[in-house]
């Protein structure tokens, strides 16, 4: 009941008093009083408060590691420029860089591994948990390995972008599903993690100079054996 009242108060405030200060309307002054009722309405039992994190169910799962941070221990969030023209350039650059991150995931799901290589500069590097290789050689380095799967589904999210002139750094989150059985789409090997990337502006648009993948967790079906190549 208390949660319903809180939702109702917030809804009425946003609908009827959107331009008033928080404590000046008819509804928002009620909000602090309702919040004080929450502990009594939803007590946290002693048993629940002492309960440890549930054990991991899959043997291939690893414990999550902290998300990457800058040297000051903060997740980077860049302040936009003040000049209108610079703001426009900054926004366009961010959109184009985000498009490159999405295109990387799209080409992965299309099994266009050589196409991913085209997103790198000539001297770009790909750094994966299993090793590193020239980005332009992505098709040769990754294609045979990923041929073990009958399909993939990559999500690229939480694009944190820092731009410095013609160069940029990004951090993006990855969640990837790899189908292991063409006759049973409930069988899949899953990974989660993030990409730390470096890009440079080129005549062809933004391109990767470095792509680094870090795994946070794995789960699901075992990694399959790649088919033999005749």
Q: Domains of the chain: which residue ranges?
A: 2-49, 84-220
Q: For the whole prediction, is pTM greater than 0.85? A: no
**From start to end of 43-129, where are the E strands?**
120-128
- For 155, list phi and psi in degrees, rounded to 5: -110, 130
164 touches 156 (CB < 8 A): no
C-alpha 188 chain-centroid distance: 20
Give me the percent of the chain exceeding a pLDDT of 90: 54
d(CA 30, CA 36): 10
Average pLDDT over the chain reads 78
Give me the percent of the chain exceeding a pLDDT of 70: 64
Q: What is the pLDDT of residues 39-70, one digit of tens each?
A: 555 454 433 333 333 333 333 333 344 455 55
* C-beta atoms surrounding 189 within 10 Å: 20
d(CA 204, CA 46): 60
Q: Which residue has the tokens 């999405």?
A: 102
d(CA 157, CA 210): 18
Which neighbouring-strand residues pair with 222? none
pLDDT at residue 114 is higher than 90? yes
pLDDT at residue 96 is higher than 60? yes
- For 35, list phi and psi in degrees, rounded to 5: -65, -35
55/85: higher pLDDT: 85
The two structure tokens encoding residue 137: 């050689």
The two structure tokens encoding residue 210: 């470095």
C-alpha neighbours within 13 Å on the C-beta side of residue 224:
20
C-alpha 87 chain-centroid distance: 25
Q: 84-220: what CATH class? A: alpha beta
pLDDT at 69: 56
pLDDT at 33: 60
d(CA 76, CA 72): 9
pLDDT at 92: 96
> Among 218, 172, 165, which residue's Cα sits nearest to residue 196?
172
Helices and strands per DSSP (H, E), number in the chain: 6, 6
């Amino acid at each position: 009941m208390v949660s319903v009242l809180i939702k109702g108060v917030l809804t009425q405030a946003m609908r009827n008093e959107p331009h008033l200060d928080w404590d000046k309307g008819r509804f928002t002054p009620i909000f602090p009083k309702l919040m004080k009722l929450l502990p009594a309405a939803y007590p946290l039992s002693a048993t629940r408060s002492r309960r440890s994190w549930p054990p991991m169910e899959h043997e291939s799962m690893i414990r999550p590691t902290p998300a990457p941070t800058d040297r000051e221990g903060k997740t980077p969030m860049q302040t936009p420029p003040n000049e209108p023209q610079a703001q426009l350039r900054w926004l366009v650059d961010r959109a184009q860089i985000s498009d490159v991150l999405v295109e990387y995931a799209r080409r992965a799901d299309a099994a266009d591994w050589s196409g991913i290589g085209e997103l790198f500069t000539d001297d770009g590097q790909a750094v994966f948990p299993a090793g590193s290789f020239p980005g332009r050689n992505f098709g040769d380095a990754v294609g045979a390995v990923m041929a073990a799967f009958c399909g993939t589904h990559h999500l690229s999210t939480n694009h944190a972008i820092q731009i410095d002139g013609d160069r940029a750094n990004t951090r993006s989150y990855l969640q990837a599903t790899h189908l292991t059985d063409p006759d049973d789409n409930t069988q899949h090997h899953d990974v989660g993690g993030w990409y730390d990337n470096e890009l440079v502006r080129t005549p062809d648009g933004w391109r990767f100079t470095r792509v680094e993948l870090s795994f946070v967790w794995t789960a699901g079906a075992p990694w399959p054996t790649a088919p033999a190549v005749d």
